[in-house]
Amino acid sequence: MKEKLISKKKPFYKISEELAFFLKDYDRWITSPVYYDDLLRFSGSVVVYDKNDKDTLWVSVYYSDSERREIDFNLKKIYTQLHSDGNESGIQYLNIDAIDYCTFGNSKPFRIKVRNILNDNFTYYYMKKTDASRVYGLEFEHMLSPYNLNYLVNHNTLVEEHIAGIPGDTFMKDFLPDCNDSELAQIAKEYVKFNERSMIRLLGDMRAYNYVVVPTHDLDQVVYKIRPIDFDQQSFEGKLSVYRPQFFKENVPIMDIVRTKLNHNSINQYKIEERSIVARRIISSSNRLNKLVKTMQLEILTLPENLERLRGEIYKFTKDKAFLESKSMGDIMKASFDYVRKHYEDVDTHSQF
């Protein structure tokens, strides 16, 4: 019987004193006027359907009138803290149009829709139960990807900005069939880079619904980028394949395009390019990244059997004893970053890690 890539539900890990100190030092900490658990006290809910009348696995929740007024005001305050300096002068121009709750997945987030009543522009943000793994994932994404991330956290609640884009599964179903040959080749290139970046920083479970495809019009073409939107499986699982999006069956349509549009040499070249870019980010973020990794080295963020398996599997690919000697997931992350940094000027094109 074929082994499942992800076999168990990941537990939530608490924020340690050391991690809290790091987050406060870099202005990520929030004194929240309303917590995730407060939002769980809704009176009822209504299923949210998409434009094709398909269940989205989200429900729109509602509260008693007295609670709703207080919750709405506090959610607006959080919005001002997330997107500005917390100044409340603009709260009067904001409206909470919807509070949705996701019944699927590990984090069960609330999605808050905020609208500016002066011009009807709206945006979203998410409130989730705090999990140290996710915080590390968000920070690594902020430092090592092409994108900055905006989030706030405390011991109870994690607030994340909305990452705009087309969910990967929706993109494959509704948009991929209409892409021309040039666009397909570009998507294949970006997917190889995304796959490499996920593996280097050990971001797991990048199934199609956990990342978005972001199309951008550039002169006479559309440029496609891929961004993760779920950081729950940051360096928890023991199987190296979990950190390689190519092995999830949900990503088969894009993997078929990679095989069709790119030859072996092209794939290797794009992997080398991405490693070099990540290595430069590791170097440029060295002070902040080193502080985060040192904090992570002190943490227990996985099960003992996962740690043992992962360090063994990565050692088989790299022959770097630093992985084999790792005592924590933080040690493995340090070994990964050191490995990439040491090799980025002279990459072994035959290496599989």
Q: How far is Cα 353 from Cα 346, in angstroms, rounded to an integer?
A: 14
Domain co-membership, 200 together with 339: yes
State the residue for tokens 């009138």: 65
Domain co-membership, 36 together with 89: yes
Domain co-membership, 261 together with 187: yes
Domain co-membership, 201 together with 323: yes
* pLDDT the model gives residue 106: 81
Contact present, 150 and 143 (Cβ < 8 Å): no
* pLDDT the model gives residue 185: 95
CB atoms within 10 A of CB 16: 16
Domain co-membership, 102 together with 221: no
In a domain, 339, yes or no: yes
CA proximity to 206, closest of 166, 246, 257 = 246
In a domain, 207, yes or no: yes
In a domain, 268, yes or no: yes
- 287 by Cβ neighbours in 10 Å (0-12 / 13-18 / 19+) ranks as exposed
Domain hosting 85: range is: 17-161
* Last residue within a domain, chosen from 131, 161, 191: 161
DSSP 223: E
* pLDDT the model gives residue 105: 75
In a domain, 316, yes or no: yes
In a domain, 8, yes or no: no
Q: How far is Cα 166 from Cα 147, in angstroms, rounded to an integer?
A: 16
In a domain, 3, yes or no: no
Domain co-membership, 68 together with 171: no
Domain co-membership, 156 together with 172: no
* pLDDT the model gives residue 346: 60
DSSP 234: B
Contact present, 320 and 335 (Cβ < 8 Å): yes
Domain co-membership, 145 together with 67: yes
Contact present, 172 and 209 (Cβ < 8 Å): no
In a domain, 54, yes or no: yes
* pLDDT the model gives residue 1: 44
| DSSP per-residue string spanning 37-68 | HHHT--SEEEEEE-TTS-EEEEEEEE--HHHH
Domain co-membership, 106 together with 214: no
* pLDDT the model gives residue 52: 86
Structural domain count, the chain: 2
Contact present, 192 and 272 (Cβ < 8 Å): no
* pLDDT the model gives residue 174: 94
Q: Report the chain (353 residues): mean pLDDT per 10 consecutive residues.
A: 68 96 97 93 94 91 93 96 84 96 88 96 96 97 93 96 96 95 96 97 96 91 94 96 96 96 96 94 94 97 96 94 96 96 63 48
